Each structure stands twice: as C-alpha cells, then as structure tokens.
Amino acid sequence: MYIPKHFRIEELVSKTVFRKYGQQSWQFFDDRALKTLDRLRERFGQATVNDWLWDGVNDSRGYRDPDDPVGAFRSAHKRGQAFDVVFKEIPAAEVREYILRNPDEFHFINAIEANVPWLHFDCRNCQRIMVFKPKQPVTF
C-alpha cells in the first residue's frame, strides 16, 4: 500500500467516506494514482484535490464512494484511479500540455480530460494517453 508524501487522506476522500472509514480509506486507492499524484505535486508544486477539511466546497475530486451521485456510474474516481487536481501556480492547460509532451514522465497516466479548469487524470486500462471531453472521447 502506497501512502503519498504530499497529501493527507482527508484531501483525497469525501467527508462522508472519511467519517466512515478514517485512515482505512487508503484501501480504496490504486497505488498508481497515488504515486502519480505525488509525482505531479513534485513537478508542478502545491496542489489541491479536496478542500472540505478547510471549509472548502470540494469533496468529490478524489475517491468517490460508488453511491456518490457525482460523476458517471463507472467513473475511475469510484475505483480510486482518478483525481481532479488544481495547482496553485500553474494552469491546468499547461500541465496537460506538459504531460502530453512528456508522457514517459508520468507513465501511469492513461487518460486526461480536456477543456476543464482542473487536471483530471486517471489510470484506467487503455492505450496511452486518451484525451477526452465529457461524453466525447478523443484519442491522440
């Protein structure tokens, strides 16, 4: 089991999941996604996934309980394979561009979402790297 160096469990799960499972919530994550999250943090600087712990409004940008109404039924978030990340210093579009130019630096990223103000990445089982728009997959 991999525990990230740069993130607490409260930043990666919803308040509901944390209250129910606490530190046991780590079991829901794919290690590849957690390792990639740390790598992104080291490359691009301070990053936020969920901020509910600090009275923010985001609590579904990491692991989503299968019963969570947010997102698609078979979302990679509900398998612990996806994160939506906002970087303090770098716009998401620049991060996406860098990943696409340097895919071997983030070898677990298999999909990213285009045209959103955050970086969605996931470790789904597909050919590298699928870039998708909601409801309209596009592969490069």
For 67-108, what is each residue's pLDDT tens digit?
Answer: 888 878 789 999 999 999 999 999 999 999 999 999 999 999
Is the pLDDT at 137 greater than 50? The verdict is no
Q: Is 48 helix (H, G, I), strand (E, B) or coil?
A: strand
What does pTM read for this prediction? 0.91
Nearest-angstrom CA–CA distance, 63 and 43: 22
* pLDDT at residue 66 greater than cutoff 60: yes
User: Is CATH 3.30.70 correct for 9-132?
Assistant: no
Q: What is the pLDDT of residue 132?
A: 87
H-state helical runs in the chain: 15-21, 31-44, 92-101
Q: Structural domain boundaries of the chain?
A: 9-132
Residue 139 main-chain phi, psi, to 5 deg:
-110, 135
- pLDDT at position 119 over 60: yes
Mean pLDDT of 108-131: 93
- Band (135; pLDDT cuts 50, 70, 90): low
136-139/130-133 β-pairing: antiparallel
The band of 140, judged by pLDDT with boundaries at 50, 70 and 90, is very low
